[in-house]
Each structure stands twice: as C-alpha cells, then as structure tokens.
Amino acid sequence: MSGTNYVTKETFEKMKEELHVMKAVDRPAASKAIAEAREKGDLKENAEYDAAKEAQGLLEAKIKYLEGVIATARILDETSIDTSKVSILTKVSLINMGTKKKVTYQIVSEKEADLKLGKISVTSPIGKGLLGKVVGDVVDVVVPAGTLKFKIEDIAI
C-alpha cells in the first residue's frame, strides 16, 4: 500500500463508519459464532468451529487494513484543486486517438476507484500517465493491452 491515501471527506467518513460496524457489530458476532461452535463438541473434527475461526481471522485482517488506510488518509478539499493540470480529484475529458472516442475520467484514490462510475485510480496506468499533464497534451499510456494515445481536451472539478 502506498504511503498516503488521498480521499474526499465523504469517502473518509464512509471508511470510518465501515470500521465502526466491523468493530461494534461484526467482531462480536464472530466471537459468538466461535463460542456456539465450541459448544458443539470436539474441536478437532468441528468444521463449524474451523470456519468461524477462519471468518474471524479474515475480519481481523480487514479491520487492520482499514485502520491502516484511515491512519494514512489525507482528506482533499475539492475547492483547492488546481485545474490547470491533471491531479487527483480532477475530471479529465480525453479523446482516444486510436478510436476517436471521447471519454471522461475522474482521477481518484485506490479506495474510491470505480470504472463504471468513470472513476480511475491515481495508481492505475492511465491515472499515472495523465498526472501533471495539461489541456492539449497528447499522452501515450502503456496498459496491459498495449499503448493507448490520448489527447487531453478538458480538465475540471
């Protein structure tokens, strides 16, 4: 995981709520499931107990991961973003020079990325390739399928 996670205030609040639910609801439920499975007899041959312990381990790993993300989060203020160049939280309108199709992506943190909503991660090949570029630039982006060529048409919030 990268050193700093850039997120919006909304995403930060969602992460804090998700962590709270995991600690206050999911963790006690996992402990209860283990206790119930333990009461059912021999632990050596108790698949229910093994499954409950494994689920608890996965939950604890998720909690630890989310705590790390929150600890390294940096909340970005959308009003202070410079739209003269591509940066995190900017919306970039591009023309794919190969297909002549126009696409718009918002550059976001890994946690917020969702291609269906037009949000791509700042650490993705396209996100990395666009960072720091300005309107009018033609950018070659190396992706797993080859090299894509984009022309930057507009940068906005």
What domains does the chain contain, in order, with CATH numbers?
5-75 (1.10.287.180), 79-156 (3.10.50.30)
Provide the CB-side half-sphere exposure for 105 (13 A, CA).
29
pLDDT in tens, the chain (157 residues): 457 778 888 889 999 999 999 999 999 999 999 888 888 877 777 888 888 899 999 999 999 999 998 998 888 877 778 888 998 889 999 999 989 999 999 998 887 889 999 999 988 999 999 999 999 999 999 988 889 999 999 999 8
For residues 17-28, b (16+ Cβ closer than 10 Å) or e, as one string? eebeebeeebee
User: What gap in Å lies between CA 142 and CA 111, rounded to an integer?
Assistant: 22
Neighbours of 8 (CB within 10 A): 18
